[in-house]
């Protein structure tokens, strides 16, 4: 009898780590499915009240910043405050344009100072950089993005295609899963994308990371049915 009880106890002890591991994986899976289910759903009534929302705005070269500024001009800027502008470390022009926009808003409203911060983030890979060296720069860029997201913890993320938005959006999605901050990610595909999505847009669309995904051409909306067609913003 004692041998049987001892054998049962040893079997339970040996199976305990496996059981705990399966339970942990199950909890993580259910959490991921819940976040994906909630992604894209309307915010709660409490969150939709007229209260300011800290907003992360991702800028980028090649026309992305011009499109983003045009988008900001039609949004309720009083709701999106404080604003945090982020651009690549080698992209000084985008932040200059953002400063001009913020200064013009401050002058028109007669408010001294601006409720915005301007930051730079390391690129994962520069144009022409080898894939061997880009492994290290990707790790550095990811760590820097994580530090910025922990510092900002935005409620809203606005982006429209630059590659620097990918680590920021992925980290924001991870924050949802572990309960640090529920950030609503809004992605507006560039007007230059007429027939197919950019790589950034395709990743965010396929991985269901963006809460709301917008395109500026009707044929894109037909090809990607979860996207919303918003006409041309330029």
Position 4 scores a pLDDT of: 54
* pLDDT tens readout for residues 154-200: 999 999 988 889 899 999 999 988 888 888 999 999 998 999 999 88
Please tell me the distance from the alpha carbon of residue 188 to that of residue 216, in angstroms, as a whole number. Answer: 8
> How sure is the predictor about 224, in pLDDT bands with cuts at 50, 70 and 90?
very high
Position 125 scores a pLDDT of: 67
Count Cβ atoms within 10 A of the Cβ of residue 6 and give its class: 0-12 exposed, 13-18 middle, 19 or more buried. Answer: exposed
Mean per-residue pLDDT, 23-29 = 75
Give the phi and the psi of residue 81 in degrees, each rounded to 5. Answer: -150, 140
Closest CA to 122 of 152, 87, 151: 87
Please tell me the distance from the alpha carbon of residue 109 to that of residue 225, in angstroms, as a whole number. Answer: 40
* pLDDT tens readout for residues 120-148: 998 876 666 666 677 787 788 889 999 99
> How sure is the predictor about 220, in pLDDT bands with cuts at 50, 70 and 90?
very high
In order, the DSSP letters of 49-115 are SS----EEEE--TTTHHHHHHHHHHTS-TTTS-SEEEEEETT-HHHHHHHHHHHHHHHHHHT-SS-S
Give the phi and the psi of residue 26 in degrees, each rounded to 5. Answer: -65, -45
User: What single DSSP character describes residue 43?
Assistant: P
């Amino acid at each position: 009898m004692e041998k049987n009880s001892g054998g049962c106890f040893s079997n339970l002890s040996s199976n305990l780590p496996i059981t705990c591991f399966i339970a942990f994986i199950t909890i993580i899976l259910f959490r991921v499915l819940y976040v994906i289910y909630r992604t894209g759903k309307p915010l709660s009534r409490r969150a939709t009240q007229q209260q300011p929302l800290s907003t992360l705005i991702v800028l980028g070269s090649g026309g992305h910043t011009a499109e983003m500024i045009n988008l900001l001009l039609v949004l309720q800027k009083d709701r999106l405050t404080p604003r945090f502008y982020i651009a690549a470390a080698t992209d000084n022009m985008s932040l200059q344009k953002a400063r001009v926009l913020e200064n013009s808003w401050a002058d028109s409203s007669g408010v001294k100072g601006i409720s915005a911060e301007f930051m730079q983030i390391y690129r994962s890979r520069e144009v022409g950089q080898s894939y061997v060296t880009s492994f290290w720069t990707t790790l550095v860029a990811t760590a820097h993005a994580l530090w910025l997201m922990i510092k900002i913890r935005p409620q809203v993320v606005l982006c429209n295609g630059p590659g620097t938005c990918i680590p920021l959006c992925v980290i924001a999605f991870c924050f949802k899963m572990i309960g640090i901050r529920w950030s609503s990610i809004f992605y507006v595909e560039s007007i230059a994308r007429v027939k197919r999505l950019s790589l950034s847009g395709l990743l965010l669309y396929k991985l269901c990371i963006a809460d709301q995904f917008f395109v500026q051409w009707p044929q894109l909306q037909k090809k990607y049915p979860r996207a919303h067609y918003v006409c041309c913003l330029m």
